[in-house]
Chain A
Amino acid sequence: MRRILIAVIVATCLVGQMAFPVQAAQALPGSPPIINLYLDWQMKEEDLPALARWDVVVLDANQQARYPDKILKLRQLNPKIKILAYLPTEEYAVAHFSEPANYPFARLGTAIKDDWWVNGPTGAKVYFWPGQPMLNVTDQGQSGEKWNEFFPRFIRDEIMSSGMWDGVFLDNVFDGISHFAKSSYDLDRNGKADDKATADKAWNDGMQKMLRLIKQYNPNAILLGNGGAGYADKLNGVMFEHFPSWSWGPNFQEVRDTLAKNMTPAYTAINVNTDNRPEQTNYRLMRFGLSSALAAGSSYSFDQGDYSHNVVWWYDEYEVPLGQPKSGPRILAAATGQGSVPAVWMRSYDNGLVLVNSTTKAQKVSLPGIFEKVHGTQDKKTNDGSVVDSVMLGAQDGLLLIKRVAINDIIGTSFVNGAFIRTYDMSGKQTQNGFFAQRGDAPSGATVFVADVDQDGFDDVVSAAKGAVTVSFGGTRKPVTFRPYGSAYTGTLYLSVGNANRDAALEIVVGREGKPPETRVFTWSGKELARWSAYMPLFSGGVRVAMGDLDGDGMREIVTAAGPGGGPHVRIWKTDGKVWGGSFFAFDPNEAGGISIAVGDVDKDGKDEIIVGSGRGAKPRVRVFDARGNLKREIVLGEQPVTNGIDVGAADLNGDGIDEILVGGMPAI
């Protein structure tokens, strides 16, 4: 039965392995890449959901036999996770001899030949770690197949062939033997202790050979080595445990040099730990390590230490969608009187900034712009969500800062120029400080929508005020102005922009106040493509509009909402005005203050949701619906009615791939 289960699992994983090439995956798009060394043999069930949030997880190789179901569950929870099998390269724990025969380490133990052990001149075994005699990675002192030839084959035939692993974590990839062996050694078994230089050279050569063969036999496997950086070009990554192991400056440079040599994709990581003390809330240490990793461009691991690689400590900073680095790290300020330089380093990312202060004094740092601190739930004193243009960075500390959203970042949704806007995620949490959205290139109070309407690669500003739509092009085209409802209409216009037909250019959908409540569709040059009455012609509340892909089929739908006087009614149309789907009341039908409407994918399910804002004189609320009018979420923004109602929008402002909900119209004072 067990064999059948394993066979099914293997088949599933093999298919999955072929379908998805090895690549660096991240639990959240743009968030720091993180690795968890989870070597606890228990693999606690309650840890699995948390463990699945990591990008890379290293498990004891025996888990493929002990808990294959849990490995599968990790992949179900996070399809992008990379799981590596932990294997020491140069030692074997004797405790493995007593494990069940189907355990990989037990099988390894049965294959170890006597002359693979590292003996001293007297024939006694040599150790680095207690209870784990060392194995000879050199070509010396062994007859027939050598350990450095067998081990790569073992990885292929016994580990990677199970289909459960994306690669291996090779522990103790030492540059030589002399710094690690606890006693003298006789690698060539001539009865005499070896001199260090000769032994180290042989060890290095042997390890190089081993790694080369591992890669040759397992071309798709991720190879992450723990130990010396001397084999960087033969590995996808090196784990720098106990970072900084001796001095921050040279260690930091070593990480960067290693990354430059790694095979791609690169998984070099630094591990910072609390020296086997249960100090999960040592946020400063965590930040120092994380920001060092981000500055260097490596992955990051933070845990309790080498006796306790079995924690699932999660931090606010792990969820910051920084994006990709925009440039290399640079020094801001250097401490003097030091050898290699402890300094304050900065690195810009798409959506933020990383600072690390490796000096022993607090440093004031002026920032290259305005940023926002993380809205933290743990270290609220440091991550207080404040907006800053300079920070005081503590000694041996780091900081992640988020780029402050500027007005020019609002693309792909309409907003009222000059309104005070707040942004929320689907859970209702405000994602950052609100701001005044005032563009200088559109009239105050105009409805604005920024998009590349002519698809020339430049964003264009579509603004609507006093009955006229103006398209100001980012390229070389001259502005276009047209009056969608004729010259007699000088009131407010509502806008949305999207692809309403099969040509490349985007179309402009317009709604109005008053009657008739007609929705009209235009090209960017002002040519009318369609018009229809969203409501009865005598309805004087007007119509608001939004456009998006509600069913994820690549075709846009147009959503309309009634203005004041008609109840909070929502209807869905095809872009030519034919009815699509149904209609529904977004709030109590007796709320007659009108509603605002937007469309966006706020939960990353691949389909746009309908976002509705409450109307005049109502308590401010936002509701999120699916295409069928099923309520997915309500966000209550306050208890006091808002005189003019609120305006909603949806756009991805922080680059995490998920639209935020924009709310305008809430009073600033």
Chain B
Amino acid sequence: MRKQKTVSNVRRSSGLMAPASQVAAAPARAVTSHIRRIYRDKYAGRHRFARWVFAFDAFILVVLGTLLVFDLVVFFRGIQTADPGLEVTLATPELSSADVVPLEVKVRVTDARQHTGIKVALHLPQEMSLIQAWPALDRDGMWTIGSLSPGETATRRVLVHLDATINTRVDIGFVLQQYDPIIFEQALIGTDSRPVTSSALRLMSLMPVAGVSEGAQIPIVIENRSAATSSPMNMILAESIGAPHATLGSDGIYSLPALPANSQKIVFLNVGTGLEGEHLAFRLELQSRGRKVDQLDLDLMHETQVPAVVEAPQTSDSGAGTIVRYSGAQPGARLILLQKEITAFRRSAFEIVDLPEGSGAVDISKVQGVTEGQLMLVSIYDGDYYHLSGQMLELTSAGLPFEVQARYYTASGDQLGLGPLPPVSGEPTRYWILWTLGPADRSLHDLTYDAQLADNVKATGKYASTIPISFSSTDAAVKMTVEEADLAGLGKITFGYEVELVPQKNQEGLYANILLGSSIDATDEFGKHVQAFSPSIDTDLSNDEKARGKGTVQE
């Protein structure tokens, strides 16, 4: 048993009763008196270090009291889903699938307080993939806005690629956080649901077709209307009526690589053999990242009439022409010549050669736009629609090497270009377009090079050639004319000209087109008409080793 320590409860006056402080000290005196009483009754004599125990208990009591007050404050104040002083709005254009979409989120202060520690983030749905953000996101995937004053607005932007099924909705989420001195952090979470009303990728028939014979190949065009390169795609023969052996690639699925911006591609639907009935129906679907972005339905007649029997093209005796012999041509028989690859530069998607009734021969080399390497379909044209036969022939190509590159540096690293690289919206960047011809085993004369310049691109007037040439340009095109080009003697010849691009704001984060396409047109030493085409070129200078990776337009 612990020895009780006897203490005196009598204390001398501490001076609190001094007359001068009597009134002011009264409440304090009451409190301290109460505390002393508690100490006296509960602690003094009961504990070895009574004062220390009392002080410790008092401390615990204070802490518990503080926590209680805090919880009460939190309870009544609540973790509100929003500090009413901040407003978040999301701005998007009309959503088009298989396209790039700019999203803008704005945070605005709506009350009279200074708000601090503000962070905001977008939660993108799986249909959207991030291309670029301005400014760049923090490591935690959020933008740190910091402080905003009353009435102030902060704007953040992203560029995303959308691959969503057309006529569906996508939910774009956002999170807003801010620092609160008491609560430490508040969060606002919300979503914005937007419809996907169109698609940048389209399916269409190259020409109006009303009927097909067995084995006919229907040219279908896939077009990318976006300002950005598409994702890889699949084209699916979703439904086929009356054509049990119709094919589109293997297993009815045709895989396609990404299409450059504003470009087209031809794919052939082979109706196959063993057609049944008078009517045929096909449904084609275009999918991007597993989601349907467009659909094409074809209702066609099953044709049995043969428009004409066409032989393979032959070079004429003089060597100057390409002769096609035919027999049994029906009224309206027509040859369709089309390039396997479409470029934006071609004057028309296909050329036509009408076949007089009966038998005969036509020289297709004289038809404007006919080149080697094309395909030839045999059809009947009724004035409105084509009825395709199963005959498809390929015009063999003699192969004239023609290459076009855009460069900022030469292969050895000399700087040809001028201006910011990567290009910056609103500022000019100059590139050199270098095109080469040959080597080949023949001479060319009356050679014309044509190039269609992209929007926001113009020729500067500078050019270079080591053989006599004339150069001219307009706002949208460049033309170079060479009288004689002896490829057999000179081997590969290189020509060049300088262009200037000023990217627009809506091209930020993307590659910008420089050339929409170019072609050469000449007559060889045998009198044969020769053409070659080159596809579009953008600021992704994949041939330019030193400029590689510096093609995306910057803010």
A residues near B (Cβ < 8 Å) are: 370, 385-389, 416-420, 422, 433-438, 443-445, 465, 638, 643-644, 666-669
Contacts and interface: CB of A to CB of B under 8 A. Distances in A.
Contacts of B419: 389
A455 B415 CA distance: 36
Central interface residue in B405, B412, B496, by most chain A CB within 10 Å = B412
B465 interface: yes
A420 B410 contact: yes
Interface string B403-434: 00101001110111111000000000000101
A669 B405 contact: yes
A643 B494 contact: no
A564 B250 CA distance: 57
A494 B434 CA distance: 27
8 contacts: A385-B415, A389-B418, A433-B414, A433-B416, A445-B467, A643-B492, A669-B494, A669-B543
B497 to A, nearest CB: 10
A441 to B, nearest CB: 14
Nearest to B492: A643
B466 interface: yes
A34 to B, nearest CB: 29
Central interface residue in A386, A438, A668, by most chain B CB within 10 Å = A668
Contact of A420 (B464, B491, B543): B464
B46 to A, nearest CB: 71
B468 A443 contact: yes
Given A436-B462, A643-B491, A668-B414, 11 more contacts: A370-B418, A389-B418, A418-B466, A419-B466, A433-B415, A436-B432, A436-B496, A438-B462, A445-B467, A669-B405, A669-B434
- Sorted nearest first, the 5 A-B pairs with minimum C-beta distance are A436-B464, A434-B414, A444-B465, A668-B410, A418-B466
B463 interface: yes
B494 A445 contact: no
Given A387-B418, A643-B491, A644-B491, A417 B466 contact: yes
A445 B412 CA distance: 22
B396 interface: no
Contacts of B411: 667-669
A668 B463 CA distance: 14
Given A436-B496, A438-B465, A668 B434 contact: yes
Nearest to B413: A433
Nearest to A416: B466
Contacts of A444: 464-469
Contacts of A417: 466
A388 B418 contact: yes
B494 A438 contact: no
Contacts of A385: 415
A387 B410 CA distance: 13
A388 B415 CA distance: 10
A418 B465 contact: yes
Contacts of B405: 669
B415 to A, nearest CB: 5
Contacts of A422: 412, 414
B436 interface: yes
Contacts of B415: 385-387, 433
B490 interface: yes
A380 to B, nearest CB: 14
Interface magnitude class on chain B: 20 to 34
Contact of B407 (A387, A437, A669): A669
Contacts of A443: 468
Nearest to B407: A669
Given A370-B418, A438-B462, A668 B494 contact: yes
Contacts of B468: 443-445, 465
A643 B493 CA distance: 11
Interface string B453-474: 0000000001111111100000
A383 B390 CA distance: 66
A435 B492 CA distance: 20
A667 B494 contact: yes
A438 B467 contact: no
Nearest to A438: B464
A669 B410 contact: yes
Contacts of A370: 418
A445 B410 contact: no
A418 to B, nearest CB: 5
B70 to A, nearest CB: 47
B418 A669 contact: no
Central interface residue in B407, B411, B543, by most chain A CB within 10 Å = B411
Given A387-B415, A667-B494, A418 B464 contact: yes
Given A438-B463, A644-B490, A669 B414 contact: no
Contacts of B412: 422, 434, 638, 666
Given A644-B491, A668-B410, A669-B411, A445 B465 contact: yes
Central interface residue in A417, A419, A438, A644, by most chain B CB within 10 Å = A438
A420 B436 CA distance: 14
B392 to A, nearest CB: 37
Contacts of A418: 464-467
A370 B490 CA distance: 33
Contacts of B432: 436, 668
Contacts of A438: 462-465
B503 to A, nearest CB: 16
A422 B419 CA distance: 21
Nearest to A444: B465
Nearest to A436: B464
A668 B405 CA distance: 11
A644 B486 CA distance: 14
Contacts of B462: 436, 438
A387 B419 CA distance: 8
Nearest to B420: A390
Nearest to A430: B414
A385 B464 CA distance: 23
Central interface residue in B417, B436, B463, B466, by most chain A CB within 10 Å = B466
A8 B466 CA distance: 63
B515 to A, nearest CB: 15
A412 B465 CA distance: 22
A638 B410 CA distance: 14
B175 to A, nearest CB: 35
B478 to A, nearest CB: 15
A668 B465 contact: no
Nearest to A647: B466
A445 B419 CA distance: 29
Nearest to A385: B415
A442 to B, nearest CB: 10
A422 B432 CA distance: 17
Interface string B160-196: 0000000000000000000000000000000000000
Contacts of A416: 466
B547 to A, nearest CB: 12
Nearest to A668: B410
Contacts of A419: 464, 466
A434 B414 CA distance: 6
A438 to B, nearest CB: 5
Contacts of A669: 405, 407, 410-411, 434, 436, 494, 543
B177 to A, nearest CB: 33
Contacts of B464: 418-420, 436-438, 444
A118 to B, nearest CB: 61
A596 to B, nearest CB: 14
A407 to B, nearest CB: 10
Contacts of A465: 468
A418 B434 CA distance: 13
Contacts of B434: 668-669
Contacts of A386: 415
Nearest to B405: A669
Central interface residue in A387, A389, A417, A638, by most chain B CB within 10 Å = A387
A388 B419 CA distance: 7
A667 B543 CA distance: 14
A668 B415 CA distance: 10
Nearest to A388: B418
B524 to A, nearest CB: 21
